């Protein structure tokens, strides 16, 4: 057994002597000069490089196993090594990087050749197994080679912390092992390579070495502070115990109708009958109105507080007031009736739960409002678009007709079919009441002697008996900003659609994304600690830096659950009254909850068939005309807070207006973010 082992060692030694690399192993005069590799380009350069590296142990091992690599694999290795060398040398990169990169690229392609029995792979060349390395060490090959110690470099200078890494003066071979020490590379880029070399020779260890180290803890300090930023301020809902559990339901009612129908007078009469306006204030209004020969306007001045509105007798901006009954707390929104102020009417209707349509029973006044172009028609359609599901038709000024039942029936026969068929209200959603806003008959108390043909409830009795509105008080916060002003900070006004607000609650403003905090709240000019869905609130905010952070049409949302924002959406629209056609590129003004923006029709996606009620693609020209329904893609100039109509109706319904007229209404079906 020992003889066989000795014979095996002698054979291996002879093979090694044939393949042993020396400083002249490569080149024209070597034993390998007869190979066809001599005819390859840049072969002399490769030979110089290989001769220079021939003394290393890894090179000896690779050369020993080189003959086992297939011929095609050798060609691939040399080709890619030369290609990498030429490319990297052209970029003037250091020789050490060239050597490492070229070796890696070449060995990747070492296995491309056709393998035969006994061939070895590139991995096995550089990573011999334990058994192979043991057998290889038993041969005592290259006895003059240094013993391999990882990280050892005999000619490298002593390491000095903080000093630069200059190139040592001895031979270049050991220098290539040292550069991987990348402990402080940033100090190296601003220094020259010549000056630090002299410092290394002196091997002086400077005293202020630890100075750069204290800078590292400074970077770690903010990490310790970060957990302290968590401020659990939702502890303030402790104040809910003071005002928790409201007894009355909060209802917002908007008064709509044609100009001079008596909306403001009706609002003032309700405030008078419910005791919300004291007798001294009423006497003052009567005295001032008599001086201007406007005695009949005294009640309207209870809600029309603007001098311009009092002088002209026309409501310009929607007014706000409140009254209470036995079961409910009502907020009055008195909308203007003139066609020039329809945007203000839409703003008021967007905050309402119910609508009271005031109609004048006088000859000519009802016809003027109900004809095409009249505000009676437009207002009824607008409140339906805003999602109001209950409409009360108050036929006013019945005392001027001596409570004529024929006039009442005439108005009823014209209004009821139109509201049910064209506007879209259901029979149980509408109710007609004859009354007189000026005298107060049938507003709070009925007088059967004047209207024996009507034995129904009065206006206030009907409102008080309405079923309670189901509101989402525990869900996400949605507060549409209707108005904004500055008063020792930024104050916003609007209706809290859903959720619950408390002092100190953190919110996010959409679409600006500004994070704010509730500083204080007021309901009907009275400070409150908690806001409930359905209330018309006045909120003072903290955290607003400029006026663009919060504007009219923005929405306050929960920080953890914000609403969507986009500048493009698909909506289903119905063209109401428009003489021309609507095609791609058409521009109009869109009213989306309290936001008012210009919008462009980007694309017409389809049109609903009037017979089958199904969506069909356009076969010819793409356009929509009066009476058509279709799906349209709209483009806004900026992002607007919105929601799908199916998920959040009050933020998913919109109105299109052009040239002072309402031309279409629709709902959002898809939001393109």
> What is the mean pLDDT of the segment spanning 178-201?
41
The pLDDT of residue 91: 59
Q: List pLDDT tens digits, range 533-550.
A: 989 999 999 988 888 889
Backbone angles phi, psi at 322, to 5 degrees: -150, 155
First to last CA, the chain: 81
Which run of H or E residues covers position 133? helix 130-138
Highest mean pLDDT among 84-88, 119-123, 139-143: 84-88
DSSP SS3 for 3: helix
Band of residue 225 on the pLDDT scale cut at 50, 70, 90: very low
Please indicate whether residue 416 or residue 49 has the higher confidence score (pLDDT): 416
Q: What are the CA-CA distances from residue 154 to residues 65, 176, 204, 261, 380 (Å)?
A: 29, 12, 19, 105, 96
Q: Do 249-465 and 565-672 show the same overall fold?
A: no
pLDDT in tens, 320-337: 889 998 889 999 998 988
- Give the pLDDT confidence score for residue 66 in this predicted structure: 61
Q: Do 82 and 70 contact (CB within 8 A), yes or no?
A: no
Q: Which secondary structure element, helix H or strand E, spans residue 495, and what is its range?
A: strand 490-498
Least confident of 299-303, 331-335, 574-578, 596-600: 299-303
Split at pLDDT 50, 70, 90, the class of 132 is very low
Query: Domain 249-465 falls in which CATH fold?
Result: Rossmann fold (3.40.50)
Give the Cα separation of 375 and 224 in Å (integer): 64
pLDDT of residue 104: 58
For the segment 144-172, the average pLDDT, to the nearest whole number, is 52
The pLDDT mean for the chain works out to: 76
Of the pLDDT bands very low, low, confident and very high (cuts 50, 70, 90), residue 135 is very low
- Mind listing the pLDDT tens digit for each residue in 465-524? 998 888 888 888 999 999 998 888 899 999 999 999 999 999 999 999 999 999 999 998
Between 506 and 317, name the one with better pLDDT. 506
| For the ranges 213-222, 370-379, 502-511, the one whose mean pLDDT is highest | 502-511
Query: Does the pLDDT of residue 258 top 60, yes or no?
Result: yes
Residue % of the chain over a pLDDT of 90: 34
Average pLDDT over residues 598-614: 91
Residue 582 confidence class, pLDDT cut points 50, 70, 90: very high
Q: Is 155's pLDDT higher than 80?
A: no
Average pLDDT over residues 108-124: 46
The pLDDT assigned to 94 comes to 53
Indicate if the pLDDT at residue 173 is higher than 70: no
Residue 36 pLDDT more than 90?
no
Identify the CA nearest to 450 among candidates 434, 428, 462: 434
Residue predicted with more confidence, 194 or 297:
297
| pLDDT at residue 623 tops 70 | yes
Predicted pLDDT of residue 63: 61
Q: Which of 69, 167, 172 is nearest to 112 (CA)?
A: 69
Distance CA 297, CA 269 (A): 11
Q: What is residue 51's predicted lDDT score, i.e. its pLDDT?
A: 64
What does pTM read for this prediction? Answer: 0.62
pLDDT at 277: 87
**Residues 151 and 159 sit within 8 Å (Cβ to Cβ):** no
Residue 453 has pLDDT above 80, yes or no: yes
On the question of pLDDT at 396 being above 90, the answer is: yes
Which of left, alpha, beta for 293 (phi over 0: left; psi -120 to 50: alpha)? left
CA distance 389 to 37: 92
pLDDT of residue 60 exceeding 70, the answer is no
More confidently predicted of 274 and 196: 274
Q: What is the distance between the alpha carbons of residues 258 and 462, in angstroms, rounded to a whole number?
A: 23
pLDDT at 537: 92
What's the average model confidence in pLDDT over 355-378? 89
Helix (H) or strand (E) holding 411: helix 405-418
- From the list 314, 358, 357, the residue with the least C-alpha distance to 336 is 314
* Contact indicator for 541, 635 with CB cutoff of 8 Å: no
Please give the pLDDT value at position 50.
Answer: 60
> Which of residues 241 and 615 earns the better pLDDT score?
615
Structure tokens at 578: 């428009």
Delimit the domains of the chain by residue range.
249-465, 478-558, 565-672
User: Taking 50 as the threshold, does the pLDDT of residue 121 lie above it?
Assistant: no
pLDDT at 280 over 70: yes
Higher pLDDT, 173 or 530: 530
Task: Please determine, looking at this structure, whether the domain spanning 478-558 carries the CATH number 1.10.357.10.
Answer: no
Q: Which residue has the higher pLDDT, 35 or 618?
A: 618
For residue 101, what are the contacts with CB-CB under 8 A and spacing of at least 6? Answer: 84, 88
| DSSP string for residues in 361-407 | -STTHHHHHHSTT-HHHHHHHHHHHTT---EEEEEE-GGGGTS-HHH
Q: Is pLDDT above 90 for 113?
A: no
Of 224-228, 504-508, 607-611, 632-636, the one with minimum mean pLDDT is: 224-228
Residue 87 pLDDT > 80, yes or no?
A: no
Q: Which of 463, 412, 465 is nearest to 434 (CA)?
A: 412
**Are the C-beta atoms of 551 and 486 separated by less than 8 Å?**
no
Identify which has the larger pLDDT, 207 or 66: 66
State the pLDDT at residue 42. Answer: 52
Please say whether the structural domain 565-672 has been given the CATH code 3.40.50.1980: no
């Amino acid at each position: 057994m020992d003889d066989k082992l000795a014979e095996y060692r002698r054979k291996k030694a002879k093979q090694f002597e044939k393949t042993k690399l020396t400083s002249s192993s490569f080149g024209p005069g070597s034993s390998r000069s007869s190979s066809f590799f001599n005819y390859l380009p840049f072969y002399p350069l490769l030979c110089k490089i290989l001769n220079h590296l021939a003394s290393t142990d890894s090179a000896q091992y690779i050369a020993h196993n080189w003959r086992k690599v297939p011929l095609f694999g050798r060609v691939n290795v040399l080709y890619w090594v030369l290609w990498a060398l030429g490319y990297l040398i052209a970029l003037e990169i250091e020789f050490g990087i060239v050597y490492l990169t070229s070796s890696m690229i070449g060995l990747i392609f070492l296995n491309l050749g056709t393998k035969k029995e006994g061939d070895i792979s590139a991995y096995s060349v550089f990573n011999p197994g334990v058994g192979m390395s043991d057998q290889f060490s038993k041969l005592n090959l290259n006895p003059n080679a240094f013993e391999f110690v990882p990280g050892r470099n005999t000619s490298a200078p002593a390491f000095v912390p903080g000093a630069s890494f200059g190139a040592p003066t001895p031979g270049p071979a050991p220098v290539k092992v040292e550069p991987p020490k990348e402990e402080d590379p940033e100090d190296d880029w601003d220094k020259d390579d010549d000056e630090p070399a002299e410092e290394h020779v002196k091997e002086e260890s400077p005293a202020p070495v630890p100075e750069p180290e204290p800078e590292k803890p400074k970077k770690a300090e903010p990490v310790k502070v970060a957990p302290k930023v968590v401020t659990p301020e939702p502890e303030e809902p402790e104040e809910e115990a003071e005002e928790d559990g409201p007894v009355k339901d909060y209802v917002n009612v908007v008064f709509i109708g044609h100009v001079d129908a008596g909306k403001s007078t009706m609002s003032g009469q309700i405030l008078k009958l419910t005791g919300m306006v004291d007798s001294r204030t009423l006497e003052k209004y009567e005295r001032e109105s008599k001086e201007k020969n406007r005695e009949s306007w005294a009640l309207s001045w209870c809600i029309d507080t603007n001098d311009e509105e009092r002088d002209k007798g026309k409501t310009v901006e929607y007014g706000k007031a409140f009254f209470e009954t036995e079961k409910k707390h009502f907020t009055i929104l008195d909308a203007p009736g003139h066609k020039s102020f329809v945007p203000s009417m839409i703003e008021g209707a967007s905050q309402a739960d119910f609508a009271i349509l005031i109609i004048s029973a006088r000859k000519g006044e009802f016809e003027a409002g109900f004809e095409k172009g009249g505000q009676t028609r437009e207002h009824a359609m607008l409140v339906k678009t805003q999602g109001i599901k209950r409409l009360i038709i108050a036929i006013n000024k019945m005392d001027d007709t001596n409570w004529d039942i024929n006039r009442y029936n005439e108005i009823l026969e014209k209004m009821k079919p139109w509201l049910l068929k064209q506007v879209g209200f259901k029979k149980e959603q509408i109710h007609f009441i004859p009354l007189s806003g000026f005298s107060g008959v049938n507003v709070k108390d009925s007088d059967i002697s004047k209207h024996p043909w009507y034995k129904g409830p009065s206006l206030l009795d009907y409102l008080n008996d309405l079923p309670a509105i189901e509101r989402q008080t525990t869900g996400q916060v949605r507060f549409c900003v209707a108005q904004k002003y500055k008063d020792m900070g930024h104050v916003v006004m609007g209706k809290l659609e859903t959720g619950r607000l408390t002092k100190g609650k953190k919110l996010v403003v959409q679409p600006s994304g500004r994070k704010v905090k509730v500083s204080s709240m007021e309901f009907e000019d009275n400070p409150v600690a908690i806001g409930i869905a359905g209330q018309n609130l006045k909120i003072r905010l903290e955290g607003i830096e400029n006026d663009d952070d919060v504007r009219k049409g923005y929405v306050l949302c929960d920080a953890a659950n914000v609403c969507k924002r986009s500048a493009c959406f698909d909506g289903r629209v119905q063209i109401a009254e428009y003489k021309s056609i609507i095609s791609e590129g058409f521009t109009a003004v869109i009213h989306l909850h309290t936001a008012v923006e210009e919008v462009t029709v980007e694309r017409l996606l389809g049109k609903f068939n009037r017979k089958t009620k199904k969506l069909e693609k356009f076969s010819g020209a793409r356009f929509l005309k009066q009476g058509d329904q279709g799906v349209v893609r709209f483009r806004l100039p900026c992002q607007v807070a919105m929601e799908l109509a199916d998920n959040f109706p009050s933020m998913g319904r919109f109105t299109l207006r052009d040239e002072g007229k309402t031309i279409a209404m629709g709902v959002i079906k898809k939001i393109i973010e």
